[in-house]
Structure 1
Amino acid sequence: MSSSAEASAQLIYPQNVLANASLLNVKFISACFAGAAAGILGLSNLSGFALFLAATLLTSACIWGVNCKGKPGKYVHGGIGELVNPGQDNAFTFVLVWTLFYAIVHVYD
């Protein structure tokens, strides 16, 4: 006999899961734009990371409301936790773009 978790996993179509996971690439682009904005505005320390947190939450809310229609467990394999999770790659991308734009704009300050 299979457990209920195995039975529900068999109902998931792998191609749709991959297509829905590609929606999470929007969070990567959001991290890039948030890093550029933080660098151009000259934010430093916690104010820059607060902008990253706000951008991640706003992007997750947009994906939750528009693409997932309020039911992220049906469209994304991790549910709401996967939507809100910023991811290590996105955090590193944010810091990289933040320092790049900060150095370009504020080089002579």
Structure 2
Amino acid sequence: MNIDRTEFIAWMERIMDRFDILGEHIDYAQKKRNSLDGEELLDNQDLLQMLKISNRSLQRYRTTRKLPYYTISGKIYYKLSDVHQFIRESFSPPAKKMNANK
């Protein structure tokens, strides 16, 4: 069975279109799965990368109750809004530079 080049390209385009559709479905399912009350949930790895902190620091924030968390099926998650609030409360803005001419 031989197929010509144009027919082959058409088949490949249809296959790629289906992969794109499947990718969108997977992304949607992943976001839906990692949400609580319609809000995105982050796991430890997400937070470690986002805040650029160590695992021990993250554990300390949980232990001292500075960062609220939820345990679902034995895995720890954080609400994105809680993370934003933690950042606002924990990190102060940079100090203003004093003018050297005064």
Normalized against structure 2, the TM-score is what? 0.28
- Choose 1 or 2 for highest CA Rg: 2
